[in-house]
Amino acid sequence: MAAFADAGRGVGILLCTQPHARIHALASAGVLGLGCWLGISASDWVALVIAMALVWVSEAINTALEAVVDLASPDFHPLAGRAKDVAAGAVLMASIAAAVIGALIFVPAWLAR
């Protein structure tokens, strides 16, 4: 039970401290609403949920990595900056992939409506 409390606290920290996580939350809510409104298929839901999960997981890992890097290297170090930049790049790549998946699903469904 404690593990769930720890994980929940981690999600809370993510949402309370990371502005991009709040943007992801709004985007996720929008995707869920649009998917319900358009009545997309089960397979489309699977693709969207995987894409959203990839963005959320990459954001959480990026946040955790930044905290660990800040702890290990409070002063500027080029390798610390590189680690943070690569982790942020992973979030960017996941977000672009999710946007492409969303467009591939929502644009045809919207046009068909």
The answer to whether 71 touches 89, Cβ cutoff 8 Å, is no
- Point out the catalytic residue in the list 21, 59, 60, 102: 59
Rounded Cα distance, 8 and 2, in Å: 10
Rounded Cα distance, 31 and 40, in Å: 11
Rounded Cα distance, 53 and 59, in Å: 10
Decide if 66 is catalytic.
Answer: no
CA-CA distances (angstroms) from residue 75 to 64, 81, 83, 87?
18, 10, 14, 19
Give catalytic residues, as residue numbers. Answer: 59
